[in-house]
A = this chain, B = another copy of it.
Amino acid sequence: MTTKAKPEQPEQSASRRRRERERQQMRTRLLEAARDIAAEEGWNAVTIRRIANKLEYTAPILYQYFSSKESLFVELMMVGFTELADQLKVAAQAPPEERLAAMAEAYWTFAFASPELYQAMNGMDGVPFGTAETPLEAKAAFRTFRIALQSIAEARGAEVVDPIGAVDTVWAFLHGCVSLAMAGRVAGGGDRAKTLMLNGLEPLFTAQVRG
């Protein structure tokens, strides 16, 4: 219990390792197939038979790699949060004055580059979303956001009063803008929605700051 978590097979045969790897590859192939279908025809078109067919398998294959269709969705949701966290981390490297806008833009870009993922993450459209504990992967994105907000405040010679609340507030605003825009509910379309988002961001953040 000192160095490794699972010291069951100290000597893993090479072939066993290979099969483990192939198994994981099959999982990601299934995930990508589902994602592709969703991207092209929406989540309602994603059935286990279509996923399997896309890889030239038959339907029950899914249950060798996922416990259910929903669990595949959940995993795809985690994939989404991981990708989002990555892109936020990149945007967080922008200079402090542009950092906030850069991260908002990264959030927006991610959402509209992969709407099917964004929907899976936020339970829109036909994605069942019932048992949603906040995924651990989301916390990484959250953490990136928190550090960024604090560093921006610091660069302004101030501090974020309630860092966690600030992230929730900013995140909620970004999500709201994206969500409404994606549903086609913002007059003037996506470009205008993005502008409104970027305009609203600054005062919203400033109010989270003191000093």
Using known A-B contacts A44-B130, A203-B207, determine if residue A196 contacts B184 with beta carbons closer than 8 Å.
Answer: no
Q: Identify which of A13-21, A31-39, A131-139 touches chain B.
A: A131-139
The interface bits of chain A over 87-112 (1 if a CB of B lies within 8 angstroms of the residue's CB, else 0) are 00000000000000000000000000
The interface bits of chain A over 20-43 (1 if a CB of B lies within 8 angstroms of the residue's CB, else 0) are 000000000000000000000010
Q: Identify which of A2-10, A60-68, A121-129 touches chain B.
A: A121-129
Q: Which of A120-169 contact B (CB under 8 A)?
A: 122-126, 128-130, 132-134, 138, 164-165, 168-169
B contact residues around A193 at 8 Å (CB): 168, 172
Residue from the set A123, A200, A202 with the largest chain B CB neighbour count within 10 Å: A200
The interface bits of chain A over 189-207 (1 if a CB of B lies within 8 angstroms of the residue's CB, else 0) are 0001100110110111011
Closest to A133 in B: B184
Chain A contact residue count (CB 8 A cutoff):
44
Is the pair B122, A183 in contact by a Cβ cutoff of 8 Å?
yes
B contact residues around A196 at 8 Å (CB): 165, 168-169, 172
Closest to A175 in B: B176
Q: In whole angstroms, what is the CA distance A43 to B176 when docked?
A: 22
Is the pair A184, B134 in contact by a Cβ cutoff of 8 Å?
yes
Q: Knowing that A138-B185, A175-B180, A200-B207 are A-B contacts, what are 19 other residue pairs whose CB atoms are under 8 Å apart, sorted by A's residue number?
A: A122-B183, A124-B124, A126-B126, A132-B184, A133-B184, A134-B185, A164-B187, A165-B199, A168-B180, A168-B193, A169-B196, A169-B200, A171-B180, A172-B173, A172-B186, A172-B196, A173-B173, A174-B176, A175-B176
Q: Mind listing 29 A-B residue pairs with CB under 8 Å?
A: A42-B130, A126-B126, A126-B129, A129-B183, A134-B183, A134-B185, A138-B185, A165-B196, A168-B196, A169-B177, A171-B180, A172-B173, A172-B176, A172-B180, A172-B196, A173-B176, A173-B200, A174-B176, A175-B176, A175-B179, A175-B180, A176-B177, A176-B179, A199-B207, A200-B204, A200-B207, A203-B203, A203-B206, A204-B204
